A and B are shown apart, each in its own frame.
Chain A
Amino acid sequence: MPFISKIERQTDYNRFPSSTPIVIDNGASYFRIGWAGETEPRVIFRNIIQRPRHKTTGETVTVVGDHDTALLRYFDCTRSGPRSAFDGNVVFQFEIMEYILDFAFDRLGANGSRIDHPILITECVCNPVQSRSKMAELLFETYGVPSVAFGVDAAFSYKYNQLRGICERDGLAICPGFTTTHVIPFVDGEPVYKGCSRTNIGGYHVTDNLKQLLSLKYPHHMARFTWEKIEDLKMEHCYIAPDYALEARLFQKGSKEAEDKTRCWQLPWVPPPIEEPPSEEEIARKAAIKERQGQRLREMAEAKRSSRINELENQLQGLEFLLQQLGQVQEEEIPSFLSKTGYVSKHEIESTITKVSQSLRKAKGEAKVEQAENEEKADSSDKYPLINIPDNMLTAEQLKEKKRQIFLKTTTEGRQRAKQKRVEEELEREKKNREDEERRLENPELYLEQMRTKYKELFEKVEQRKRLKTTNGGHANGNSSSGAVGRGERLNAAQRERMRLLTTAAFDRGKGEDNFGAKDEDWQLYKLMSKDNDDDDDGPDENEAELARVCSRLQEIDPTFVPKPETTPSQPTSAEIPRVRPLTKEDFQVVLGVERFRCPEILFRPNLVGIDQAGLDEMTGVSIRRLSTKNEVLEDRLTSSIFMTGGCSLFPGINERLEAGVRMLRPCGSTIKVARASDPVLDAWRGASVFAANMQFQQQTFSRSDYYEKGEDWLRHYQLRYTL
């Protein structure tokens, strides 16, 4: 039953005279405010604020309580998470407290220049005086309140239920709250704080535990596990097992009762539309279209080719004509003639002619390999005439020319050598493939086995590398959930190696002095380090290439082989389920089995979440011990009226469990009775309201003048008397 907030603005503020107190239950989870004497608080909302920025105007606004998320889309909420004024159960952020009080008074309908009513506000047990005084200051200074009283919410709840006969004058109040759990003994109707006991575990920890467990179990659906949704799940489905070990064994065996107790949450899921195999006509039609397109492309290519051939032929003709003309012109006039045409020398014209004729031949599709080779050979002897002439016979310019020709020659030779090597490799590969085929043909089974094992090994290696890489990549991207792991994991293998080398180098040399660097060999260390760094990145590529090859081979020859899907990188933000098979309905189900009773168990055993304090049942023993009355009758009376209040006491099964726990601590035969408040959530406010409506309430408040005259020390000793 999710708790709904009430934030309607009240209109009857002015009906209440100045003497009517306003009652505030300032809890870590919810804030309740209303008028004294009434049975329900007027305004209830979650005790958090958010300060998002408006997307278009850019101003920062304040939003109090939890609001409709649809409206929040106008605001940029990335940098503003929900903030609470509480640290544990103590108020420490009074700026946030002020926003909350603003909102509360505003919704109560306050108008006028000050809040002119006495205020009764709840606080935690043994509130530090600093928090108390700041709260008093806030109320007096900013809101102009005439008088203030502080009380403990559990005590109010106890008194209220005492009036109704649910508990006696002497008893134990157990209050599992949102952030803390208290056990307070009541003697003669007054709480005895000396015997009080507090454990820092509450509903917040239960919800947080459930959220973490579900996120770890279903990382794909993490986006759906919001705080509010998990709280709803907790309130609806969690229960406390009478004996944890027995329940766990039930689930471990997988018995029928365990099945009944398992709840399943189906997330909304739409099955993908079934694709029908294309019908005959479809296939025919598509084939015809493809054919036509192919035809069109071929025609276009033809047209282009023929136009290019024409162009080249024309160019060739022009050049030949030019050459003829050149032959007729006189020797002296060659340069001027050539400058008009744009070519520098006869040689250049000739080379252009050869190039053009080559491209023409290529366009026409004739073989020209031998031609090219011949050309190159001829060129090498023509183009590099200067190489063979020794240096001292050449001028400076000719030397430069010679250098250039040497360079050109070496590069062309290098290119030829590379081509040759490639050809050789091709031949090698061909030979290997043929051998492979032969091996396969003669013994298919063995071959298959070998391939499979090889695939597995390679896969493992690649996976390992990938996992290392992605976890490091994930951290480097700044995933907030990896806060626990921290900086250390960001160092990948290479960096760790580097660190190791450096530290060994630093510490190996000499115990007293640091003489690293005195010898030249020491500096070789850095060369080693940088090489390590490079290797790490190149290495996996070979493995991956090999893996791909083996995979394709296996796919060809083995009909039963299915390539293993790579496990998706474990980034919390990715929402991909490994698509080994099509997604089914079951993938979108969240199963709550053991978690149902595992999470509330932490109330009784805080050790499960690492908090080393006593659980609920032990706390009662501690509390009675701290009272140290030596009066067994009193102790018996205390245990015969154990009263549970607070939001967390709504878990089913908590009463029986607590009774069993207390029975283990108390001497045999003592009476133990556990009763729950009539309304654990709202009874605190109701008790406070009844208290404030009483005539003698005014004597218990303190006013502004009191506060300033008497000072902090007096405030420290200020306690309410609950029996009126």
Chain B
Amino acid sequence: MEAEVIKAELVLPTHMSFKRTQMYEKYPKGQSKVRWKQLKQIIQAENYQNYDPDEPNYVNIESPPSMQPCKRICDITGFEAPYHDPRTNLRYANADVFKLVRSLPNEYVQRYLALRKAAVVLR
């Protein structure tokens, strides 16, 4: 290990005196074999439907969908966009922006759509 790295104490030391079991004992071979449950799985395992729906829990405090009308803004410039391009599914504000929209290669189109989660996902 280089001298300046040691001096800066960049790396976490492997042995801590205040710990009962050290990391290398708990997780031999570096990465742990334990697959941690993602949030979705945790929520599923919680079985909130078995409990009283009036009790607040992680799921039922989530906000409902918005009641306000959706404001449509141009994907590229950010101005108000009353128009919509059927071919690329992008929103645009005026004719100049439209020219730009039509000249974009497909990759950029998908990235703009991904900004508002409207991209075509092939999985």
Q: Which residues of A contact B (CB under 8 A)?
A: 9, 54, 57, 60-64, 67-68, 71-72, 74, 87-88, 90, 92-95, 98-99, 102-103, 105-106, 110-115, 125-131, 141-144, 193-194, 196-200, 209, 212-213, 216, 244-245, 248-249, 251-252, 467, 471, 474, 481-482, 484-489, 570, 594-595, 598, 605-615, 618-619, 622
Q: Are A594 and B18 closer than 8 Å at their CB atoms?
A: no
Q: Least Cβ distance of A149 to chain B in Å? A: 19
Which residue in B36, B43, B78, B123 is a CB contact (below 8 Å) of A93?
B36
In contact, B79 and A610 (Cβ under 8 angstroms): no
Per the bound structure, the CA–CA distance linking A54 and B19 in Å amounts to 25
Minimal beta-carbon separation of B123 from chain A (angstroms):
6
Q: Give CA–CA (A98, B93) in the complex, Å.
A: 50
Contact A248 B78 (CB under 8 A): yes
- Neighbouring A residues of B1 by C-beta, 8 Å: 54, 57
- Given contacts A125-B61, A196-B56, A608-B71, could you give 19 more A-B pairs where the C-beta distance is less than 8 Å? A63-B11, A74-B2, A87-B38, A90-B42, A90-B58, A113-B18, A114-B18, A129-B46, A143-B18, A193-B56, A198-B61, A212-B111, A251-B79, A252-B77, A484-B113, A486-B120, A594-B77, A605-B68, A608-B73
Q: By the criterion CB–CB under 8 Å, are B56 and A194 in contact?
A: yes
Spell out B's residues near A (CB within 8 Å): 1-2, 4-5, 8-13, 16-21, 23, 26-27, 30, 32, 34, 36-39, 42-43, 45-46, 54-58, 61-68, 70-71, 73, 76-80, 93, 105-108, 110-123
Please name 29 pairs of A and B residues whose Cβ atoms are closer than 8 Å in the assembled complex, sorted by A. A67-B8, A68-B8, A71-B10, A92-B37, A92-B42, A93-B36, A102-B12, A111-B17, A112-B17, A112-B18, A126-B56, A128-B43, A128-B58, A129-B46, A141-B20, A196-B56, A212-B111, A252-B93, A485-B120, A487-B122, A570-B105, A570-B108, A594-B79, A607-B70, A608-B73, A612-B65, A613-B64, A615-B68, A618-B63
Say yes or no: B43 contacts A111, CB within 8 Å: no
Q: Which residue of A lies closest to B32 (CB)?
A: A95
The answer to whether A482 and B20 touch across the interface, beta carbons within 8 angstroms, is: no
Among A99, A216, A252, A484, contact of B121 (Cβ-Cβ < 8 Å): A484
Bound Cα distance A209, B73 (Å): 14
Contacts of A106 in B (CB 8 A): 12-13, 16
Contact of B36 among A64, A94, A113, A611 (CB under 8 A): A94
Smallest CB–CB gap between B36 and chain A, Å?
5
Which partner residue on chain A sits nearest B9 by CB separation?
A9
Q: How near does chain A come to B107, taking the closest CB pair, in angstroms?
A: 6
Per the bound structure, the CA–CA distance linking A87 and B107 in Å amounts to 28
Number of residue pairs A-B, CB distance < 8 angstroms: 212
CA distance A608 to B23 in the complex (A): 43
A88's nearest neighbour on chain B, judged by CB, is B39
Q: A481 to B111, Cβ gap below 8 A?
A: yes
Q: Which of chain A's residues have a CB closer than 8 A to the CB of B32?
A: 95
User: Do residues A598 and B65 form an inter-chain contact, with CB atoms below 8 A?
Assistant: no
The CA of A396 and the CA of B48, in the complex, are separated in Å by 96
A102 B111 Cβ-Cβ under 8 A:
no
- Report the bound CA distance from A474 to B105 in whole Å: 12
Q: Please state if B115 and A213 are interface contacts (CB–CB under 8 Å).
A: yes
Report the bound CA distance from A141 to B18 in whole Å.
Answer: 11
Residue contact B115 to A209, C-beta cutoff 8 Å: yes
Give CA–CA (A245, B78) in the complex, Å. Answer: 10
Among candidates B23, B38, B57, B116, residue contacting A102 with C-beta atoms closer than 8 Å: B23
Q: How far is the CB of A460 from chain B (nearest CB, A)?
A: 12
Kindly list chain B residues whose C-beta atoms are within 8 Å of the C-beta of A212: 111, 114-115
Q: Which residue of A lies closest to B16 (CB)?
A: A102
- Give the CA-CA distance A105 to B27 in the complex, in Å: 20
Q: How near does chain B come to A478, taking the closest CB pair, in angstroms? A: 13
Contact B39 A61 (CB under 8 A): no
Cα(A458)–Cα(B53), bound, Å: 68
- Chain A nearest CB from B35 CB (Å) reads 10
Q: How far is the CB of A435 from the nearest CB of chain B, in Å?
A: 38
- Closest chain B residue to A144, Cβ basis: B20
Query: Quick check: A484 and B111 within 8 Å, CB to CB?
Result: yes
CA gap between A77 and B56 in the complex, in Å: 42
The interface residues of chain B lying within 8 Å CB-to-CB of A198 are 61-63
B118: A residues at CB distance < 8 A? 610
Judging by beta carbons under 8 Å apart, are A126 and B122 in contact?
no
Bound form: Cα–Cα A62–B16 in Å: 14
Name the contact of B39 in the complex, choosing from A90, A98, A144, A619 (C-beta under 8 A): A90
Chain B residues contacting A111 (CB-CB under 8 Å) are 17-18
Known A106-B13, A252-B79; contact A143-B108, beta-carbon cutoff 8 A: no
Considering only CB atoms, which chain B residue lies closest to A485 in the complex? B110
Assuming the A-B contacts A93-B36, A196-B61, A622-B63, are A474 and B107 also in contact, with contact meaning beta carbons closer than 8 angstroms in the complex?
yes
Is the Cβ of A197 less than 8 Å from the Cβ of B119?
no
- Shortest C-beta distance, B41 to chain A (Å), equals 9
Closest to A209 in B: B115
Knowing A248-B79, A598-B78 are in contact, say whether A482-B12 is a contact too (CB < 8 A): no
Considering the complex, give the chain B residue whose CB is closest to the CB of A609.
Answer: B116
Whether A67 contacts B19 in the complex (CB less than 8 A), given A88-B39, A613-B63, A615-B66, comes out as no
Q: Cα distance A249–B74 when bound, in Å?
A: 12
Q: In the complex the two chains form, is B8's CB within 8 Å of A71's CB?
A: yes
| Residue in A54, A248, A482 whose CB lies within 8 Å of B73 | A248
Q: Tell me the smallest distance from the CB of A317 to a CB of chain B, in Å.
A: 72
Nearest CB on B from A353, distance (A): 67
Chain B residue nearest to A183 (CB atoms) is: B63
- Given the interface pairs A610-B118, A613-B62, A614-B65, the reply to whether A64 lies near B12 with Cβ below 8 Å is yes
Residues of B within 8 A of A112 (CB): 17-18
Do residues A484 and B110 form an inter-chain contact, with CB atoms below 8 A?
yes
CA–CA, A612 and B68, complex, Å: 11
Contact A614 B67 (CB under 8 A): yes
When distances are taken between beta carbons in the complex, the residues of chain B under 8 Å from A486 are: 120-123
Which residues from B are CB-within-8-Å of A64?
12
Contact A110 B105, beta carbon cutoff 8 Å: no
In Å, the complex CA distance between A608 and B115 comes to 8
Question: Bound state CA distance, A482 and B113, in angstroms?
Answer: 12
Which residue in chain A gives the minimum CB-CB distance to B57?
Answer: A126
Contact B42 A130 (CB under 8 A): yes
A111-B15 Cα distance, complex, nearest whole Å: 12
Nearest CB of chain A from residue B8's CB, rounded to whole Å: 6
How many angstroms from the CA of A13 to the CA of B37 in the assembled complex? 35
Contacts of B34 in A (CB 8 A): 95
B31 to chain A, nearest CB (A): 8
Neighbouring B residues of A90 by C-beta, 8 Å: 39, 42, 58
B112 and A216 contacting across the interface, CB-CB below 8 Å? yes
Interchain CB contact under 8 A, B107 and A594: no
What CA separation (Å) do A143 and B111 show in the bound complex? 45
**A471, B12: Cβ atoms closer than 8 Å:** no
Chain A residues, CB < 8 A from B27 = 95
Chain B positions within 8 Å of A613 at CB level: 62-66
User: With the chains together, A618 CA to B63 CA distance in Å?
Assistant: 9
Residues on B with beta carbons closer than 8 Å to the beta carbon of A92? 36-39, 42
User: B105, A142: Cβ atoms under 8 Å?
Assistant: no
Q: Provided the pairs A88-B39, A95-B27, A618-B68 are in contact, do residues A482 and B122 lie with their beta carbons within 8 angstroms?
A: no
Residues of B within 8 A of A144 (CB): 18, 20
Is A143 touching B12 in the complex (CB atoms < 8 A)? no
Which B residues lie within 8 Å of A609 (CB)? 115-117
Chain B residues whose C-beta falls within 8 Å of the C-beta of A618 in the assembled complex: 63, 66-68
Bound-state CA distance A212–B117 (Å) is 13
